[in-house]
Structure 1
Amino acid sequence: MQHKKTPKKKPQTLKEKIYNFVKEFVVVFAIFLVLNSFVIASFEVPTSSMEDTVMAGDFLFVNKFIYNLATPRNIPLTSIRLPYIVIPSLWKVERGDVVVFEFPGYRDEVRHPAMIYYLKRCIGIPGDTIQIIDKVVYVNGKIFPNPKYVKFERPYILPKDQPDPRIFPKGSPFNEDNYGPIVVPKKGDVIKLNLTNYDAWETFIKREGHEIELKDGKIYIDGVEKYEYVVEHDYYFMMGDNRDNSLDSRFWGFVPDKYIVGTPIIVYWSWNPDIPIFNIFAKISSIKFNRIGMIIK
C-alpha cells in the first residue's frame, strides 16, 4: 500500500510573513485593549501615600469590572484623555475600600490636563459627614477604624487654630489633622449658595460642567441668577493610609462616581522605583520578593 506524500508547504514570502505578524499583533493588541478597558489592568504605585498597605514601586492588578464599566479613558500607554462612556455596575464603593480613580484635579483646578490615576482608601460615601479631630477620623459621628497598616509619620498634631491655606474647600479653617465637619455630596443634594460660600463651591460646580460667576453681588450659573444648586453626581471622600504624607480629598476635594476605575487585587511585582531602569543590576537586586503575591485590603 502506497502512502501519499504530504506536499511540502510553500515557504512564506517576506510580504506574507509581515502580513501574518501584523495580523497576530492586531489580534493580541485588541484582546489587551478589551481586557485593560473592562476587566483587569495594571497599576504602578508612584508614591508612598498608601504606605504601608501598598508601597511605592508595587505593581498591582486592578479589578475594573467591580464598580464601573467604561470605554477607554486614555490612549493606551499615554496620559492623553479620550472621551469615554461609563456604565455603572451593580456594586458600589464602600467605606474602607481601596480604590483606583481618575484624579479630579487640584483644589482650584476644574480638570487636570493629563489623565492620572490615584490610589487611596474610601473614607466617606455619598451623604456621609466626615470630621477629623486630632488625627482621629470620624464618619457620621463614629470613629472610623484605622486600616491595618495605617501610618503616621509626624510625632505631633497640628493645632485646630492653624488653618492650612492649601486645604479643601478653599477658605475653610481646617488643616489635615483637624478637619471638618464636611458632608460628602450625593446626587440630588441642594446646595444653598451665597456670597460667603461661593469660593468653596465654585470649582465643584464647574467640575460638574457648568459656568458659574459672581457679578454685582449676585451668583449666576449658566447665565441665570441662582440661589441654590442641585448636585448631579454621587461623590466619595478619599484618604491615603500614610495620613501625614498624603495629598488626598482633604486637599483637592471629592471624587465623582464616574471617575472610579476599580479596586486593586494583588501585588504582582515590586521593586525600588527610585533606581533608574538602565542600572539593571541594582534594579534587579531591589526586587521585593516578600511583597509579590500580597492581597490588598
Structure 2
Amino acid sequence: MSTLSKEKGKVKRDSRKKVEEQGAGAKLWSWIKTLVGAIIVVTIINGLAIASFVVPTPSMEKTVMTGDFLFVNKFIFGPSTPQVIPFFNIPLPFFKFPAFREPQKGDVIVFIFPGNRDEVEATEFQYYLKRCVATAGDTLEIRDNHLFVNNKEYKLAKNGFYDPSVSDIPSEKFQTFPYGKNYTRDNYGPIRIPKEGDIIPISMSNLHEWAVFIQREGHKISSDGYSIYIDGNKAASYKVQRDYCFGMGDNRDHSLDSRYWGFIPKENIVGTPVIVYWSWDTNMALAKFFDKIASTRWSRIGTLIR
C-alpha cells in the first residue's frame, strides 16, 4: 500500500472519529437542553396549576391516608410563582396571584408550614395538609373535645373522628398555642382568628402571647419592663396586617395543628387536594421492590378528596 493511500485512510479515520465525537457532544447537549426544559415546565406547572403532595402523617386519616399521593389544585386560591426549585428545594422569590375564591370553613388545604409556636420563621420549608375549620374574624373554642365556631358546634367532617380513649389525657407532649394561655387539646380558647385591620391591645400581661405573631408580620418588638415598643415606637396596640385561618386534622387526637403552632397566614395556603393518584407504604424501602409494589392501595387510587 502506498504512503498516499495510508495517509488517506488515516484522514478518513480521524474524520470519522471527529464526527462521532461531535455527535456524542450534540447528544449530550440535546439531553441537557431537554432536562433544563423539563425542569422549567415542571416549575411553571407546579407554580401555577397543579402540584403533587405526599401525605406524611395520619393526622387527616380517614380523609387521606399516610402514603397517599395527591394532585393539588393551586388555581382556586390564587396561583403563585414557585416557592422552590424542583428537585433541589432551593427557595425562590415568591409572588401570589389573585384568588378565584378565598379558603372557606371545611376546605382541606395544603399550606406552607409557618413554624412552631415559638419560631418567628420555620427552621425547614415544609408543606402541611389540614382542614380549615375557622377563617379570619371567626371565634373558635373547643369544649370537652367539641369544636365550636362563632358559638355554633362545628360538625366533624364526613371522615373525621376523635378517640375517646385518649381524650382525657391530662398532660401533653407539646405546648399549645399561644404561649402562656395553657389551653389544652380538648379545652381550647375561645380565641379570635386574626383578620386584617383588627386592633389587638398589647400590654406586659399579654406580650409573650403576641410577640412571635407580630414578628412574623415583619416587625421588631421589645420591652424595657414597663412599656412595649414596636419598631422602636412605644405601643399599646397592634394593627393586624394579614388574614389568617385555623387548621385542624380530621383525626383530631393525633394531629399537631393550629392548636399547637398557631394561625395559618392566608398567603401560605397553596391549594386544595383534588384526587389520590397513587397510594402505598412510604415507610417501606424501595430496595424491597416487590413488597413495595404489593403495598399499593389500589382502592385508594382515584379517590376524590372532600
Normalised to the residue count of structure 1, the TM-score between the two structures is 0.92
Post-superposition CA distance 1:270-291 (Å, at most 9, x none)? 0012211221111111000010
- Of 164, 182, 187, the residue aligned with 1:173 is 182
Aligned match of 1:291 in 272, 277, 300? 300
Question: Is the 2:132–2:248 Cα contact (8 Å) retained in structure 1?
Answer: yes
Match for residue 150 of structure 1?
160
Relative distance call for 1:25 and 1:164 in structure 2 (3 A) is closer
Give aligned-pair identity as a percent: 45
Q: Is the 8 A contact 2:39 2:86 kept in 1?
A: no
2: CA distance, partners of 1:254 / 1:227: 22
Asked if residue 62 in structure 1 is aligned to residue 86 in structure 2, the reply is: no
Matched, 1:282 2:294: no
Q: Trace 1:107-146 onto structure 2 (pairs within 5 A).
A: 107-146=117-156
Aligned equivalent of 1:104: 114
Partner of 1:182: 191
Alignment partners' CA distance in 2, 1:77 and 1:162: 40
Please tell me whether residue 28 in structure 1 is matched to residue 38 in structure 2: yes
Return the offset for 1:33: 1.1
Q: Which residue of 1 aligns with 2:11?
A: none
Question: Does the residue aligned with 1:251 lie in a helix, a strand or coil?
Answer: helix
Match of 1:16 among 22, 26, 40: 26
Q: Deviations over 1:171-208 (max 9, x none)?
A: 11310111110000000000000111111100000000
CA RMSD after TM alignment:
1.9
Deviations 1:242-273 (A, max 9, x none): 10000000000000011010000000000012
The superposition leaves residues 3-51 of structure 1 with CA deviations (integer Å, 9 ceiling, x where unpaired) of xxxxxxx998222222222223322222111101110011000011110
**Counterpart in 2 of 1:228?**
237
Q: 2:280 aligns with which of 271, 279, 297?
A: 271
Runs of at least 4 residues of structure 1 off by over 4 A? 161-165
CA drift at 1:296:
0.3
Counterpart contact for 1:164–1:173, Cα < 8 Å:
no
TM-superposed CA distance for 1:145, in Å, is 1.4
Residue in 2 that maps onto 1:37: 47
Residue by residue over 1:123-165, the C-alpha shift from the partner in whole angstroms, topping out at 9 and shown as x without a partner, is 0010000011111111101111110111223425338x97987
Choose from 88, 99, 102 the match for 2:98: 88
Contact 1:80 1:114 in 2 (8 A): no
Q: Which residue pairs with 1:197 in the alignment?
A: 206
Amino acid aligned to 1:75 = I
Contact 2:136–2:193 (8 Å) recurs in 1: yes
Q: Secondary structure at the match of 2:277?
A: strand
- d(CA) in 1 for partners of 2:278 and 2:92? 28
Q: Secondary structure at the match of 2:238?
A: strand
Which residue is equivalent to 1:7?
none
Whole-Å Cα distance in 2 between the matches of residues 78 and 29 of structure 1? 11
Structure with more helix by fraction: 2
The one of 229, 243, 262 equivalent to 2:271 is 262
Residue 247 of structure 2 is aligned with which of 238, 247, 265?
Answer: 238
Q: Match of 1:230, as an amino acid?
A: K
| Aligned counterpart for 1:212 among listed residues 214, 221, 225 | 221
Between structure 1 and structure 2, the one with the greater Rg is 2
Distance (Å, rounded) in 1 between the aligned partners of 2:172 and 2:300: 38
Q: Is the 8 A contact 1:163 1:174 kept in 2?
A: no
**Alignment partners' CA distance in 1, 2:174 and 2:193:** 21
